[in-house]
Amino acid sequence: MPGTVDHFVSLVSEHGSDVTYHRDYVDQMQPCPCMTPEGSRDMDWHVANPAAPLCNERALLPGVEVHALVKAFVQPIQSTRATRLQSEMIEAIYGVIEADDHLGIFPESWGGISLDFYDWSQSGDEYIIYNSRKFFVVNANLIPDPADGNPRHHWETGLRLMAIEPLGP
């Protein structure tokens, strides 16, 4: 009998939506020369060095970039399915609810790629695209397997819209 992880992956494969996962892995990024001794970003350095690559808001240059099409369950937080969550849980995930907030339920890995939603950038460097709309992650929890306690069953994420205009077809 397949485990609950296999069952979840089967369900998301059959019933999930196509979602683009884009992540720059910070642990493999390099400090930008614009980083000040205090650890902040000096944009004047970039003005003086226009040919240099642009770093992210943490003054880090791109490392390993993952851009993949995955399957997930994504729905507006105000939909009837999402409102089954306790209001305390919704508040813990989002803080103040915004009109276009969504709940995303992702497998722990997809197509050989381990998905990681911890320490997500909110600057636009890392994002989820769902239904031609771009989101960033405001909160993420890696949920354990209810059957055997395996800590890597699936992700539950709070998604917040970042792009107001659709990204295209």
Q: Is residue 85 part of a domain?
A: yes
Measured over all CA atoms, what is the biggest interatomic distance in the chain, rounded to whole angstroms? Answer: 62
- Structural domain that includes position 80: 4-27+63-161
Residue 162 has pLDDT above 80, yes or no: yes
* Strand (E) or helix (H) holding 167: none
Which CATH number covers residue 18? 2.40.10
Q: Is residue 102 part of a domain?
A: yes
The model's pLDDT over 104-153, given as tens digits with 9 standing for 90+, comes to: 999 999 988 889 998 888 778 889 999 999 999 999 999 998 888 888 99
Q: How many CA atoms lie within 13 A of 120 on its CB side?
A: 23
Mean pLDDT of 26-40: 78
Q: Is residue 106 part of a domain?
A: yes
Q: Is residue 87 part of a domain?
A: yes
Confidence of residue 77 (pLDDT cuts 50, 70, 90): confident
Q: Is residue 134 part of a domain?
A: yes
The model's pLDDT over 138-152, given as tens digits with 9 standing for 90+, comes to: 999 999 988 888 889
Q: Is residue 34 part of a domain?
A: no
Total domains, the chain: 1
